[in-house]
Amino acid sequence: MAQCSSQWRSKLMAKLHGECNEICEQYAQCRARVDAATAILSEYLVMLRAGQRPTPSYTHIADLSTVLEYLRNQAVRQYDDRIQYPISRFRYETEPTDEVRQAIQRIQVDLSLATTAV
């Protein structure tokens, strides 16, 4: 950049500034989605505690935390991939671990039991 003419330097700086803003915007969107998921989880737990239903078991809460952590990691990984490989059109998602799959299955069972009990 030091070897560029002043005209090219200003254009390059403007382009870098624009790309930095775009990256910050994408990161903010990812954080907003994770924050929204966290808010939904919190509202769900408040609803369960305030309602007539018994408070969910510790394992149910731990399972929700496990799934939420997986979602957070996926959001961070996708953000990192966009930074490293901005041209790539193909995104990959890692398969959930067995622990995450089992947590999802237990949550589905808990929710199906909760809906049949109501």
Give the C-alpha separation, 12 to 97, whole Å: 43
Position 56, amino acid: P
* pLDDT per residue as tens digits for the range 46-95: 776 677 556 667 788 788 888 888 887 887 787 777 777 666 555 556 67
The answer to whether residues 94 and 74 touch, using CB atoms and an 8 Å cutoff, is: yes
Give the C-alpha separation, 64 to 67, whole Å: 5
Which pLDDT band holds residue 118 (cuts at 50, 70, 90)?
low
- For tokens 């500034």, what's the residue? 17
Give, in degrees to the nearest 5, the angle at Cα 66 between 63 and 71: 130
pTM for the structure as a whole: 0.51
More confident residue, 106 or 30: 106
The string of DSSP letters for the chain reads -TTS-HHHHHHHHHHHHHHHHHHHHHHHHHHHHHHHHHHHHHHHHHHHHHSSSPPPPHHHHHHHHHHHHHHHHHHHHHHHHHHH-TT------PPPPHHHHHHHHHHHHHHHHHHHH-
